[in-house]
Amino acid sequence: QVQLLESGGGSVQPGGSLRLSCAVVGYSSSVPCMGWFRQAPGKEREGVASINDWSPINYAEAVRGRFTISQDVAKNTLYLQMNSLKPEDTAMYYCAATYRDCSGGNLVRRSYDYWGQGTQVTVSS
């Protein structure tokens, strides 16, 4: 069974940075589609960024230019570098993965089959 192990969340001031990590455990092959989602209280879970084998890296408009998704294929680890953080970025952040073709919607929740436990990111003064 694939397990996603997240780390890196925390509390920072506006303008600060955090780097989230997601280690994929339990499968010998690299995951072709992975992404980061976030969910704030009272809001729907939304796609933040995705990287996959079929399409260009995709970012939500709200984070474009500030967040960077990357992966170490050899280590089967996904990263999200978050810079210039804003209070609006406060949310539970989830790592997601699927071995299915996600080219049709890689920032869509239903495209993913595996989810991390979530790591809290809080941006406040």
Rounded-to-integer distance, Cα 17 and Cα 85, Å: 6
CB-CB contact of 118 with 7 (8 Å): no
Q: Which two tokens stand for residue 116?
A: 């991390």
**Strand 10-12 and strand 119-123: pairing?**
parallel
Instruction: Reply yes or no on whether the pLDDT at 54 is more than 90.
Output: no
pLDDT tens digit sequence for 70-80? 999 888 899 99
pLDDT of residue 115: 96
Beta bridge partners of 1: none
pLDDT of residue 102: 87
pLDDT of residue 44: 96
pLDDT tens digit sequence for 6-51? 999 999 999 999 999 999 998 767 788 999 999 999 999 999 999 9
pLDDT level of residue 55 (50, 70, 90 thresholds): confident
Residues 6+ apart with CB under 8 A from 35: 47, 48, 49, 50, 51, 52, 69, 95, 96, 97, 102, 106, 107, 112
pLDDT tens digit sequence for 83-106? 999 999 999 999 999 988 888 888
pLDDT of residue 52: 87
Instruction: Reply yes or no on whether the pLDDT at 1 is more than 80.
Output: no
pLDDT of residue 50: 96
3-state secondary structure of 109: helix
Rounded-to-integer distance, Cα 48 and Cα 59, Å: 6
Rounded-to-integer distance, Cα 111 and Cα 121, Å: 23
Nearest to 78 by CA among 105, 123, 112, 39: 112
Rounded-to-integer distance, Cα 83 and Cα 20, Å: 11
